[in-house]
Structure 1
């Protein structure tokens, strides 16, 4: 059974792609372009994309759909990146002309079968959230959410998504573009636990990660943890209703943009590592859902014969560009 391998250079993607082409294996090997935030890239544990690329051995035993003919993944995701353009760190925005043009150079040169996106969560937290609610007090969850809506942030994120999706759809109209929702966070105010086990020696240089929500709402929203969770649920539902779903229904994209709804699956505190990231097991549970939807969007010859019966093999190639 082929194993996944992580490579660090774009040139290595080119080399592996050309090797598959020379062996006439591109006809059966999915080629996927991945752009995203920490749900695709966090080093704290196996993240959502890691589990999609390299399912657990027990998944195969349980008949969980997997990449039956292997897969070649072009990965450019990075923790902390936002969807919408920003002035503070312009290089950390995904859906900008410079980044889109760069990725389109690869997308139009190689025969990708799908584009995976993980973007939008960082646009509503941290310093932006602090500024959006600055000076507010004694709000309930709904009032705080209404204040977020009034900023126009959802419109900004939707327009940024539309720019990216529109550019990729125009370049290759038949390629599906698949995003995802986030699940409802529970550990509001909890920072990531960093250690040698999840970050290696880099953990010695970082003191903490997060929290990104709790400190910005604890003196604004009354009601404690349950009210804060309610606010986070409203934020995520708003992201779906005001960004992802309108894009899915947008006729300009010919039905090629879709999203995987991951809400409401991780309902226990133990399934969350910190305020915004599930545990490794939590990401694994969500990845099973995501992978099943992705497989259905691939060309039939690239799903793997076993996946017609919901049984597959593990992916073979992972490229981090």
Structure 2
């Protein structure tokens, strides 16, 4: 099967499998949850707003005409490391197996701000908190793998071609990860480069030795999501709202269902077997930037992150 032929309908029966999708209450994440739930999976929606999560669950069940679908909310605020650890621990207390983690949530082009933990908002939301969530859930994923079919347990980081277009030429700026003096999109590209390097190191540490654990980085495409309206550091919100319909008509932005194709392919399709790969629109294997392919840089980022988050790792 080629990537162009992939569709959610081609996914196998996922009954008995458990997934977590961060940011699953909107956009590409919501379409990913719907695709997994349509095949019988039990899916947790990681979201910081319980009301939005519950509404998304109701909307997905209605759209699938499956009121029995197992879709559950999981309180998760990626701008708060304590919330990330609590979410991981709660999930581990509820489930004895986890077959897939889709680190999907993200923000783009927002004005400079620091989180309560002291990190630049995009870098923490897109990279650091997903790294921490993955770290705490990794033992459950690894424990699930031997009991599942070969390659059924997977981790997917949703990244962007922005990792190549916008990231600093030096790669990861360890001495100044907040990049306050840089543009909002440079900070965005920085975080998305980190997402791919995270997958590269997960593959180096686990995927090569454990064929039961498959990992991937996914560029979903240029999709009409709320991210395009959040990028207020680039232009006023009214201008962004006006531009989105024009960009859709021009074919620059695709719909959210298309945006979920590569995530669904990487997280659940038996046709996807290339652990550590960079998946591009739609459901095809691509080539990331030179910096994203740097194994030494991936290891250095991993070690730096371990030191930065050591207090939260121990919780």
Q: TM-score interval w.r.t. the shorter chain?
A: 0.3 to 0.5
TM-score, normalising length: structure 1: 0.45
TM-score, normalising length: structure 2: 0.46
Higher relative contact order (CA 8 A, sep 6+): 1
